[in-house]
Structure 1
Amino acid sequence: MMISELTLHHRTLHLNRFPKKDKETLQAWDAGDEYIINYMEELNLSAPKNILILNDNFGALSCWFNQNHNVTMMSDSFISHQATRTNIASNQCNEIRILNTMDEIPNKVDVVLIQLPKNNRHLIWQLNQLRKALKSEVPVIAVNKARDIHTSTLKLFEKHLGQTQTSLAWKKHRLIFSQANSSTPIEYRDYTGWNVPEHDIYLDNLPNVYSGESLDIGARFMLEHLPVETKIKHVIDLGCGNGVLAIKMARLNPGIKLTCVDESFMAIASAKRNLAQNLTEEHDIDLIANNCLDDLNIKNVDVILCNPPFHQQQTITDHIAWQMFCDAKQILKPGGQLLVIGNRHLGYDGKLSRLFGKRNVSVVASNKKFVILQASK
């Protein structure tokens, strides 16, 4: 049974993951959050401090520290933003400032707390932003599972931020202590760009875009099997990433309306840039950071393209794919199509058959690793 109460130092927070699910089995915090909280409480800081928190997964750190301090939370995740807002409201916490990681570091920062992102490119981006903005005496405290903090991780901190050391492990987590005092700040390019020559597409990718250094093999396979039909008027690219599928779909079907949705603000910014530089004709395009298709006032969509993630933060899960499929069915027009690509072992055919009916689900194409499925409403 999932525990929703975090109790430490004679204080209790009620925390939930977002989106909140019935029969949730996962907590909205981990031992890394507890380690940082315990460490900071032992310092007995004189309040209030200006605390900057990076990548607070579901808002546990933001909720804890804003009782006595001024908190700014920065994350590239729309879901993390929503989780933090929801948990702050449910715990009657003070308001905090919530930014995405493309925003500027606040002027006044006394302490930085970081949940390490999965993506090293995103970590390097954040360290470079901190190095340019922070005074050298500002402590930077990061946390991750001990197994994921390698010598190479510490070298990234030393190279892009400054002097770095680590703590002992506690509950399989470790703290990293660093300062913004490297002798020469390293310039870091915002975008990583590369070509997809067989489709005449050039893609720019901000640091936290999925598969941002090369075209992922699932998308490459999907590009070969996109529909071309004169009756297609409105297409949604759900989980759009850098926008490569939307670009190809617009070229194959000139004049369509495009809606690109992703929970990463960097993905949306990258897709916007890539659509602008790869499409020569004018298109009606909406780009939206969101959790799947929550609360979008959209109906009668012809085609939804979907390459679902199978993890949330560090956790493998299929609930995001399931919500994507359910949301898609709601807004497709009768006869509209959901096109899904996934690893063969994920069993999306069974989920789609339950939702759309077995006779309405078919295989568009498959290879040894991937299958493309079409579900018709």
Structure 2
Amino acid sequence: MTTPFGSHELTRFPADPRDRLRAWDAADEYLLRHLDSGTGERGPVDLAGAGQITVLGDRWGALATALAAYRPAQITDSALTRAATEANLARAGAAAGAVTLLTTQDAPPQRIDVLLVRVPKSLALLEDQLLRLAPHVHAGTVVVGTGMVKEIHTSTLNLFERILGPTRTSLAEKKARLIFCTPDPEVVAAGAAGTPAGGGWPLTYTLDRDAGSGAGLTAVNHAGIFCADRLDVGTRFFLQSIPTNTDGARVVDLGCGNGIVGTAVAVADPDAELVFADESYQAVASARATYEANVRHGRGDRAEFLVGDGLSMLPAGSVDLVLCNPPFHSHQATTDATALRMFAQSRRALRPGGELWIVANRHLGYHTHLRRLFGNSEVAASEPRFVVLRAVKREKRPRPM
């Protein structure tokens, strides 16, 4: 990526030379050009004397890496973004600690003088984070958002306007657009006064009787979780099919989201040992809250909550069952790379005889990938739209003498 702030070799995480998706796009480039030279009547931003720069929603660390010399803070919901940022900063030769790495669950900087927002896919997450950051901006804070045209809607602009102050957009360049917002202390104060504590998050609801093994359980969802206000149809179908009589097994809820799948197993089998894993800090916070809302006290030592690259943190051959509803999007891009990585990590983490259960849209054809990886795959349940697949890690056969 070549910008007014230098040229940088950037990669996503985990780095894959076969991956054709870049670690930056036209929206990142547009924002960086604006910071250097201004857009329209808006002049360049004096970053050297600007004070605290905060970058929200940086996809793969492109913005934080380009601006590392100005010691910004990066706020992200993704552990993969954080890992990519660390790798990209190291590759760029940035000084240790040049970028303060924060999560969406961390307290933001006390004072924010420049706020750069890469618009996320989730409008709820944007609202949640703007509400968290609003008390830390001031009338002189420079607020600039960026995103591809298809990512910025009237509802996006309305959030900036309602939470921070007057908002307008730039002309489009290379299908990217900028958002300019002028913080108004009266708007910020009014928004804070009229907003429920925590911005109304997390949301809580009870699963109905058609939710299989999850019926009657309480789901807790922080902002940004898929289908935060209801049970999505794929998970509902999965809960009607998953094995819950696990006989004290070590079970992983992989890509756990709000953790309702793993929690259903924990409630059905009090002797089960659960691991909830997701790359989203919001998701793992939700899973912990869901687990604690449903499982009797005193069982905290029976559950582990991991934020990171899937099951890479678990020892090989250390789990008995993996339950997974894999995503097939990476931000706006449709890809099966994440799902296939989850399958490979599951096979590594499973003990011989251990099982991977997944639910997926039928058209994705994951049975082919599972057969290639595990040597087997069977349909455990199906309906017109979704299919539940089961794959077993076979014991290695000794080679004939």
| TM-score between both structures, scaled by the size of structure 1 | 0.94
Which amino acid is 1:28 matched to?
A
- Counterpart in the other structure of 1:62: 64
Deviations 1:324-364 (A, max 9, x none): 1011111111111100100001110000010011xx31100
Gaps of 5+ in 1: 1-5
Which amino acid is 2:83 matched to?
Q
Which amino acid is 1:361 matched to?
S
- Counterpart in the other structure of 2:305: 287
Give the distance between the partners of 2:313 and 2:169, measured in 1 at CA. Answer: 43
Q: How far off is 1:261 after superposition?
A: 0.1
Which amino acid is 1:371 matched to?
V
**How many residue pairs get matched?**
369
- Counterpart in the other structure of 2:12: 17
Query: Is 2:276 the partner of 1:267?
Result: no
Give the distance between the partners of 2:341 and 2:154, measured in 1 at CA. Answer: 38
- Counterpart in the other structure of 2:208: 197
Give the distance between the partners of 1:193 and 1:346, measured in 2 at CA. Answer: 31
Give the distance between the partners of 2:121 and 2:327, measured in 1 at CA. Answer: 14
Give the distance between the partners of 1:228 and 1:177, measured in 2 at CA. Answer: 51
Query: Is 2:227 the partner of 1:211?
Result: yes
Following TM superposition, the consecutive aligned residue runs of length 4 or more in structure 1 with deviations greater than 6 angstroms are: none
Q: Which structure features the higher share of strand residues?
A: 1
Q: How does 1:10-159 map to 2 (within 5 A)?
A: 11-42=6-37, 43=44, 45=46, 47-49=48-50, 50-67=52-69, 69-94=70-95, 95-159=98-162
Q: How far off is 1:264 after superposition?
A: 0.6
Indicate how the Cα distance of structure 1 residues 41 and 10 shifts in structure 2: closer, same or farther if over 3 A, else same: closer
Give the distance between the partners of 1:52 and 1:342, measured in 2 at CA. Answer: 37
Match of 1:362 among 378, 388, 395: 378
Indicate how the Cα distance of structure 1 residues 356 and 146 shifts in structure 2: closer, same or farther if over 3 A, else same: same
SS at match of 2:200: coil
Deviations 1:52-81 (A, max 9, x none): 0001111110011112x1210000111111
| TM-score between both structures, scaled by the size of structure 2 | 0.89
- Counterpart in the other structure of 2:180: 177
Give yes or no for contact 1:208–1:266 (8 Å, CA) kept in 2. Answer: yes
Q: How far off is 1:232 after superposition?
A: 4.7
Which amino acid is 2:48 matched to?
A
Give yes or no for contact 2:328–2:336 (8 Å, CA) kept in 1. Answer: yes
Deviations 1:232-253 (A, max 9, x none): 5110000011010011111222
Give yes or no for contact 1:255–1:282 (8 Å, CA) kept in 2. Answer: no
| CA root-mean-square deviation | 1.5
Q: How far off is 1:279 after superposition?
A: 1.2
Indicate how the Cα distance of structure 1 residues 84 and 273 shifts in structure 2: closer, same or farther if over 3 A, else same: same
Give the distance between the partners of 2:372 and 2:47, measured in 1 at CA. Answer: 56
Give yes or no for contact 2:121–2:151 (8 Å, CA) kept in 1. Answer: no
Q: How far off is 1:157 after superposition?
A: 1.4
SS at match of 1:36: helix
Give yes or no for contact 1:17–1:83 (8 Å, CA) kept in 2. Answer: yes
SS at match of 2:155: helix
- Counterpart in the other structure of 1:160: 163
Same amino acid, percent of matched pairs: 36
